[in-house]
Structure 1
Amino acid sequence: MELEELRSRLFKGAVLVVLLTPFKDGGGLDEEGLRENIRFLLERSRGRLDRLVLVPTGSTGEFYALTDEERRRVIEITVEEAGGKVIVIAGTAQAGTEGTVVMSRYAEDVGADAVMVVLPYYHIPSEGGMYMHYRRLGEEVDVGIVVYNNPSTSKCYIFPPLMARLVADVPNIVAVKENTTHIATYYRMMRAVGDRVPVFCGLGEFWYAVEALFGCPGFVSGFANFAPELSLELKLLPGSGCLRWPTAKPFVCRRRFGPPDGQCPITSDGRCPM
């Protein structure tokens, strides 16, 4: 997908589903379970697939617990099952730039539309290091890049002025996943780059219902792994979620859904055990 088309589609708004990674009882990757889960999402989202984005091998997908080969398979299977019907943004972050480039090239080669990349998370980079990390990635791949701004994981933060510089200098940055819980910070990020790239809420339905007031185009959701139609319904409410709170409230989950939280309801729903 061309970068401008991808950026335009994301600007229209979307729910980015961070896929859970199913494992077999012995600990190996459950490939058939993964396919089943993706088919479930596509089936339950029919009529709204233009607003659905699949995100394999992110934090919720426990990329840190996967071997490189397992991670590659998850990305490849997701692209296969998506079949061009929905956007696929693969999580390709590693602890360093070189590993991130290698995994991102693989995602590009198998057909992912974009990669989602957090900052290096072992040694904390300077602002110059943050800049060079994404600049180098942009030089090495042609697919879109989603900057994942998550200080709880990386222990560092890309402030709005640096983000504006990145968006100006790295043409394949197509979106930002912003994980701040400070509304003023989200507002400043929107002021800095929101007219050039969509700034998605990285913290799910609850925070999106507030950030929608400031023009947030969508959110990243673990909840949507087992109830995508509810997440999409919240996204498609007329007006911003916070201004229609009585309507939005039933669809908002107050807990943050990570791997254990999401796996329990999926298992109880009768689909693949995690």
Structure 2
Amino acid sequence: FTLGTEKPELIAQKAMAYAKDHGNDIVILDTAGRLQIDDQLMDELVRIKQAVEVDETLLVVDAMAGQEAVNVAKTFNEKVGISGVILTKTDGDTRGGAALSVLAVTGMPIYFQGTGEKLEDLEPFYPARMANRILGMGDVLSLIEKAQSVQNDKEAEAAAKRLMENKFDMNDLLAQFQQIKKMGGAASLLAMMPGGSQIDADSLDDKALPRIEAIIYSMTPAERAKPDIINPKRKRRIAAGSGTSVEDVNKLLRQFEAMQKMMKKVKRNPKAFMRGLGSMGGRGGFKGFGR
């Protein structure tokens, strides 16, 4: 519901009347946002709260804004009065440290946190998980929940079985990359892993994923199932079809071959597998496809 450039308090009143007439039992008044303190905006918010009765006044705070976010939260609470906070961009480099400061200056609970730009990236705020993330201990529970939300148990079990039996092919690799994208990208997953803060997120190049997907989509079903049949002529065709270079195709095939060798190691010696995984991470994994 909108009335264009009408006064915000008038829009709020008419929105409430509209909701009542149409049987809407929840109304969200989304007011203009500011990264800095703005007296005009503050006055608008005060007038809105005088014009309509509200149950909750939630302040959306950018976790990346640092001290300025704390100043905004403090001023909003003093002049307007808030009942809770939504903390966004908690997947950024700050790891949500603003949560502690905002809570300290307002004394109000943090209800939700945002870890991305989509609706499904808004999730309940769990203090203990945020504390672990700030301390660099990861957030394994959120990682598990994200995995469960995009892949059911049967799919996960089937993928793991194929992996352990060394039947993992390009179709499986494509499916795994699509799961990573649904879960917020490699950097987002890294922030939830214990010790993930010690790894340079730039080494996990999310820009690489679309290019890898394009290469795999340019392969025939036979090539995806058995990548070892891909000869120089096929590589040129795949590169042309995906808008990449033969070098990119070779790079993907080499890294896929390294994954297969690693899977053979884990069956024979799990410890050797973990050492190999660490060294692969040090070489940058699938970094290098982004442009």
Q: Which TM class, normalised by the smaller chain length?
A: 0.3 to 0.5
Per chain length, whose mean CA-contact separation is higher, i.e. which structure has more relative contact order (CA < 8 Å, sep 6+)? 1
Question: Normalised by the size of structure 2, how large is the TM-score?
Answer: 0.35
Structure with greater proportional strand content = 1
Larger radius of gyration: 2
Structure with greater proportional helix content = 2
Question: Normalised by the size of structure 1, how large is the TM-score?
Answer: 0.37
